[in-house]
Amino acid sequence: MSGELSPIDKAKFVAAKRAADYVEDGMRVGLGTGSTAAWLVRCIGEMVRNDGLRIKGVPTSTRTAELARDVGIDVISLDEAKWLDLTIDGADEFDGDLNLIKGGGGALLQEKIVATASDQMIVIADVGKEVETLGAFPLPVEVIPFGWQTTQALVEETLISMDVLGRSSSLRMNGARPFVTDEGNHILDLYLNRIGNARQLSLVLNQMPGVVENGLFIDICDAVVIGYGDGRVEVRDINQGTIEQDRLDFVETDNLFTDLAD
């Protein structure tokens, strides 16, 4: 299976495979949402089936919960877990300080709650997600459905005083209807191009009535595992100030995921 992967999927897979090394027996682990996080869930599922790994998984979306159960992970809620040893999740962008933009998959609220309820957060990403300055990826902002157009207007007006290059936004759609999060909310995508002061923007957005949460993850990520299409992996730990490099070999006959649909 691995030999059939595209370079981008190889990068996601090796990042997920390397990050799975952080998971130890008996842990309570937050499981992220998105294509890269899905590889991680599958890798952990293999460890559960083949190595007897015993963990409690706390998913950040219904999609992740379904996949985790399919691969044999014992799924519990955050309320049952109380606190987590580790959360591993993807990111839409990350900068040199390991600040993130997340929410491209629409699960930013649960992802942020789970990540901040963890002793450690590890981000897994392909190298294309690294940026010098956040903002090229549209910033998701979760808003309640009531008065969302008024909230959108207030957000755009507030952006005038923020250090950003773009100030337009759009309601995320799912076909002909507004996208609805697991919590029953909508998402506004902000096209900012460049965010000069992510910390300030995050605080201002979250003070606005109608805004539930935004996709800026500031001072939450502890380490990032970066995958490359040729199998190389780089691990940057911001707390220890270390950078480690490795390479994972692909086995052309590897059937790790042949029983699962993408």
Quick one: which of 42, 48, 99, 113 has its CA closest to 261? 42
Classify residue 31: in a domain, yes or no: yes
Distance CA(127)–CA(226), nearest Å, equals 6
Q: Is 34 annotated as a binding residue?
A: yes
25 and 124 in a common domain: yes
User: The domain that contains 173 carries what CATH number?
Assistant: 3.30.70.260
114 and 231 fall within a common domain: yes
pLDDT band at 249 (very low <50, low <70, confident <90, very high): confident
Let me know if residue 253 belongs to a domain. Answer: no
The two tokens of residue 58 are: 């706390």
Residues 32 and 87 occupy one common structural domain: yes
114-155, pLDDT tens digit by residue? 999 999 999 999 999 999 999 999 999 999 999 999 999 999
Catalytic residues: 111
Identify whether 149 is part of a domain: yes
What is the CATH classification number for the domain harbouring 39? 3.40.50.1360
Q: Please tell me the predicted confidence (pLDDT) of residue 261.
A: 42
**Within-domain flag for 256:** no
Q: What are the Cα distances from residue 55, in Å, to 29, 80, 122, 156, 239?
A: 7, 13, 17, 43, 25
Q: Are the C-beta atoms of residues 85 and 27 closer than 8 Å to each other? A: yes
Q: Strand, coil or helix: what is 70?
A: helix
The pTM score is 0.93
Q: How many domains does the chain have?
A: 2
Block residue for tokens 């199998």 = 231
Average of per-residue pLDDT values in the chain: 94
- If asked whether residues 123 and 177 sit together in one domain, one would say no
166 is in an annotated binding site: no
Token code pair at residue 34: 């998105």
Which residue type is seen at 127? V
Residues 208 and 223 in one domain: no
Question: Does residue 65 register a pLDDT over 60?
Answer: yes
Calculate mean pLDDT across residues 158-186. 97
Please, which residues have CB within 8 angstroms of residue 4's CB and are 6 or more apart in sequence? none
192: in domain: yes
**Domain assignment of residue 172, yes or no:** yes
Average pLDDT over residues 193-214: 98
Same domain, 13 and 59: yes
pLDDT for residue 260:
46
Residue 208 has pLDDT above 50, yes or no: yes
Same domain, 162 and 33: no
Read off the DSSP letter of residue 133.
Answer: S
Residues 101 and 224 both lie in one domain: yes
Same structural domain, 30 and 116 = yes
Residue 260 falls inside a structural domain: no
Of the pLDDT bands very low, low, confident and very high (cuts 50, 70, 90), residue 4 is confident
Is 6 annotated as a binding-site member? Answer: no
Range of the domain at 198: 139-214
Q: Are residues 61 and 178 in the same domain?
A: no
| CA separation for the pair 163, 244 (Å, rounded) | 34
Question: Which of 214, 232, 256 is where one domain is finished?
Answer: 214
Q: Where are the beta strands (DSSP E) in 127-220?
A: 139-143, 168-171, 173-174, 177-178, 186-191, 211-214, 216-217
183 with 85, same domain: the answer is no
Q: Do residues 50 and 176 share a domain? A: no
Residue 89 assigned to a binding site = yes
Is 102 flagged in the annotation as binding?
Answer: yes
**Is residue 223, in this structure, part of any structural domain at all?**
yes
Q: Was 92 annotated as part of a binding site?
A: yes
Q: What is the pLDDT of residue 224?
A: 98
